[in-house]
Amino acid sequence: MSTIRLQKLLSEAGVASRRAGEALIRAGKVEVNGHVITALGTKVDPARDMVAVDGVPIQPRRKLYLAVHKPRGHVCSRRDEKGRPLLGDLMPKEWAHCYPVGRLDRESEGLIFVTNDGEFALRVAHPRNEVPKEYVAEVTGRVDRRRLGRLQTGVEDHGELLQARAVRVLDTNNTRSQVAVELAEGRNREVRRMFAVLGLEVTRLVRVRIGPIQLGELPAGKWRMLTDIEVKTLLAKK
């Protein structure tokens, strides 16, 4: 049996925010299995308990797990004061309650998850869980493996130690190089900052993998549902 706080269920069902849900509970407007509930600590099982607000039964929203190929130029925010294209613009409007798991900066591309499941988002995005993320960076000039080795040892930028789990050269010539970089944490603009310390400019950055999930052939601007197996794999404890 999986139980959650009543105000969280109200929020996930789209009835009210958690704070507004607490107000509904205090006001005696929420019933569980026919009984008025006023205690904020009450937990319910969404699969078994019948919850109603003002006598109207509610249904929890279906949990959604999407893999999206974010194009360059889109912003990973639900709103943007500058009117730039949003990640949410790529998906149906009825999924506006979903949100991105982590971030990709506006100039970066590639795989990002979108969900309405807070526990899933925390599991994938929190640094302590060390879900690996792999990027392919196109940089100016020829790179050598010895210099790239510093990224695994760790480089310092503005007082932060930035360190890659793995680095490998995919292609290189005198004008440009492609390098695969795997990170465990994914701090703000980390890949770009790491290469800047080495004196290399990143001209294109694509995230190609999160955990075991590959971007694969998913076209830019498109999305797909994660399978049940993929979701379970990402939620699995180490």
- Residue 43 zone, left/alpha/beta (φ > 0; ψ -120 to 50; rest): beta
9 close to 42: Cβ distance less than 8 angstroms = no
Length of the chain equals 238
Tell me the DSSP string of 164-204. Answer: -SEEEEEEE-SSEEEEEEEESS--TTHHHHHHHHTT--EEE
Distance separating alpha carbons of residues 155 and 150, to the nearest angstrom:
7
Active site residue 54: no
Spatial contact of 124 and 234, defined as CB atoms under 8 Å apart: yes
45, 80, 105, 228: the active-site residue? 105
Q: How far is 36 from 52, CA to CA, in rounded Å?
A: 9
What is the bridge-based pairing of β-strands 51-53 and 30-32?
Answer: antiparallel
Q: Hey, which residues are catalytic here?
A: 105
